[in-house]
Amino acid sequence: MTIAIGQHIPSATLVKVTDDGPDSIDSTDFFAGRTVALFAVPGAFTPTCSARHLPSFVDNLDLLKEKGVDEVACTSVNDAFVMQAWAKQAEAAGITMLADGNGEFAAAVGLAMDGSKFGMGTRSQRYSMLVEDGVVTQLNVEQPGEFRVSSGDYLLGAL
């Protein structure tokens, strides 16, 4: 069942990419006590994710923070090293990269998808959400193959 507005983020292990290397963190701890704009992509280095989705949050990072967002984070069913390399290549300083290597978080929030048709296995659907003190206050899930409601521009406009 897909997570809904008003629900708490479930517990799942994510790997936060830091300058010192990978650091495992429980999702409930990550979202506690602050406002986080989270966006999820099907895969690091994939076309729409690299050309449009991640850049839309890099471009709006300061504006999101001006609207009260404490942290902007990206999650994907990739390992921490891929997420770190993608952030570096995309010049995404300021975006916290959360690796969901086993798809545990995507499954826990009910937003996993089957990308087997494209040789990708289980991945995350494309979405954005605003989480305030662990509670989802906005959720914008894309229809398959679309990129409209999960962008940084869209989330910013909804604040």
Q: Using one digit for the tens of pLDDT, what is the confidence trace for 30-80?
A: 999 999 999 999 988 887 777 778 999 999 999 999 999 999 999 999 999
The lowest-confidence range among 5-9, 17-21, 28-32 is 17-21
The fraction of the chain above a pLDDT of 90, given in percent, is 79
**Model-level pTM?**
0.94
Confidence of residue 117 (pLDDT cuts 50, 70, 90): confident
Contact 2, 12 (CB under 8 A): no
Q: List the catalytic residue out of 49, 58, 87, 97.
A: 49
Give the residue extent of every domain in the chain.
Answer: 13-158
Q: How far is CA 126 from CA 3, 62, 130, in A?
A: 14, 22, 14
Instruction: Output the six-digit token pair for 89.
Output: 């290549």
CATH fit for domain 13-158, picks 3.40.50.300, 3.40.30.10, 3.30.365.10, 2.40.50.140: 3.40.30.10
Has 49 been annotated as catalytic?
A: yes
pLDDT at 97: 96
